[in-house]
Amino acid sequence: MERLQKVLAHAGVASRRKCEELILAGRVSVDGEPVTELGAKVDPSRQRIAVDGVPIELEEPVVLVLNKPVAYLSTVSDPLGRRTVMELLPPVRERLYPVGRLDYDTSGLLLFTNDGTLTQRLLHPSVEIEKVYRVSVRGVVDRETRRALTEGVELEDGVTAPAKVEVLRQADGEDGVAVVHLAIHEGRNRQVRRMFEKLGLPVQRLKRIAFGPVTLGHLKTGEWRPLTKEEWVALYQAAGLTPPPYRRPVVRRDPDAGDTRRSQSAKRGPRRR
């Protein structure tokens, strides 16, 4: 059972706020009966939902992978007019949302989907989906630092869960830059940066390269791709869900738009903040 306005929004009727207005105006019916309460819950797989007498068409689940550049917000919109990751997505019918977020100055793998249940499971702390980051830090990642990361770092909001650490390149002195892979399953705000800063190693560059069974592979910065069938099954199973039938999104292609893998905003150049 899901809230009616959420079902309407996921079906592409309108934004959730606009769908609430439609409900309050008495324009939405469930099994032929008008519904005007915003708290009403429905089962879209069993009940007939209509707007102005026209049945809604439920969306099939879609999952995309984006290699997020820095200087983009991981949000659907921004009141200050700053660039958001939504500008980098292809023109598809489904209303997609980012699964969690990456900081403004962090790049890498960001998932998008219209499956709210999948999103909730992937982000729920009890599921412990592992995320892997490539981190460049200033300073030497010594044995004591690795031990602290693997045992937990005490931050202002509590001790972090044990992480996995792999040093790819060691710094040649305190002013050099070391590169490590860090795997965590928590999702605290700016967690990776705070962990290294607590240990006296300022982060120079941060990029997420894996989210559960999904990896960036050779995806270029600013480009997107659908999941492979194998990734689709593995991601749903990692979330503890039965995978629905695999489906690639249908992209509406404009013959004058060029390569739809990149956003039109990226082609126009950066927008002033």
Active site residues: 103
CA distance 192 to 29: 47
> String of b and e for 195-228 (b: at least 16 CB within 10 Å)?
bbeebebebeebbbbbbbbbebeebebbbbbbbe
- In three-state secondary structure terms, 266 is helix
How many beta carbons lie within 10 A of that of residue 245, not counting itself?
Answer: 7
CA distance 151 to 2: 40
Which value, to the nearest 10 degrees, does the dihedral of the CA atoms of residues 5, 8, 10, 15 take?
-70
CA distance 28 to 263: 35
